[in-house]
Amino acid sequence: MFGSYEFDWSSIPGAMGFLGQGLLVSLEITGLALVAGIVWGTLLAMARLSSIKPLAWAAAGYVNLFRAVPLVMVLLWFFLIVPKLLENFLGLPSGSDVRLASAMIGFALFESAYYAEIIRAGIQSVPKGQLAAAHALGMSYPQAMLHVVLPQAFRNMVPLLLTQAIILFQDTSLVYVSALADFFGAAYKVGDRDGRLVELVLFAGAIYFVLCFAASQGVRYFQKRLQTA
């Protein structure tokens, strides 16, 4: 079925260092967005379940807005607009390199909307009596959340959070639009430079597949063990 295309994989071995750095950048962004997303997502979820109505509305608005728009668009605007905004606001000299930082922040803000929904479901899966019991023991609301509700909620959520982390890792490839040299960005640059885009795209796809497939099998195994425990 193949046409006359002649493969030439010779540009990959020499570029391994560069590609490895790109992979590290991808993992760094994933890790950062994961931590920021879980922390900010937990706060959003708690705000959404709060009895203070304006707070609940604000959190719901935030989550629904970010879930309605595409990630590419958010990344692009955080790359294009937010740096200008910051320059004007903070009086930074024009051309300060805050573009990458703001692309990362945009990424974390976007993903936290998805984490907030997972965490909200996790909190709601904890029986109400747990909170009542904690209150009866004299705990304040923050103490009850921190020591009683959230630990149980997170235990229930672990497989979902990990699955979302794999999606997050795949999503990091979209920082391509902000010229950040993540793994795919690095592969594209090498392929573009050597006129070997075919090989490099196939190579990048294979690496992503191996990593994500292994990770999702790991999550599945972990989930089974959690169920039997």
State how far the alpha carbon of 65 is from the alpha carbons of 44, 82, 138, 211, in Å: 13, 18, 38, 31
**Neighbour count for residue 31 (Cβ, 10 Å):** 13
Three-class SS of residue 139?
coil
State how far the alpha carbon of 164 is from the alpha carbons of 45, 69, 212, 219, in Å: 16, 18, 11, 11
Pick the binder of another protein from 51, 54, 68, 93 (CB under 8 A). Answer: 68
- Asked if 171 interacts with another protein (CB under 8 A), we say yes
Tokens representing 180 are 């950040």
Interatomic CA distance for residues 63 and 49, integer angstroms: 13
Sign of the Cα pseudo-torsion (30, 31, 36, 37, in order) = positive
State how far the alpha carbon of 43 is from the alpha carbons of 51, 103, 200, 205, in Å: 14, 22, 41, 35
Site string for another protein, 69-98 (x = CB under 8 A): xxxxx--xx--xx--x---x----------
Pick the binder of another protein from 4, 51, 227, 228 (CB under 8 A). Answer: 4
**With respect to another protein, which residue has the nearer C-beta, 145 or 182?**
182
Q: Kindly determine how many residues on this chain lie close enough to bind another protein according to the rule CB under 8 A.
A: 37
CB of 150 to another protein, least distance (A): 26
What residues between 191 and 210 interact with another protein by CB under 8 A?
Answer: 197-198, 201-202, 204-205, 208-209
**With respect to another protein, which residue has the nearer C-beta, 33 or 145?**
33
Interatomic CA distance for residues 111 and 100, integer angstroms: 17
Site string for another protein, 91-130 (x = CB under 8 A): ----------------------------------------
Segment interacting with another protein, rule: CB under 8 A, options 15-23, 49-57, 135-143, 173-181: 173-181
From the list 69, 35, 34, 75, the residue with the least C-alpha distance to 173 is 75
**With respect to another protein, which residue has the nearer C-beta, 149 or 203?**
203
Tokens representing 44 are 């959003």
Site residues, another protein (CB under 8 A)? 1-5, 65, 68-73, 76-77, 80-81, 84, 88, 170-171, 173-174, 176-177, 184, 188, 197-198, 201-202, 204-205, 208-209, 212-213, 216
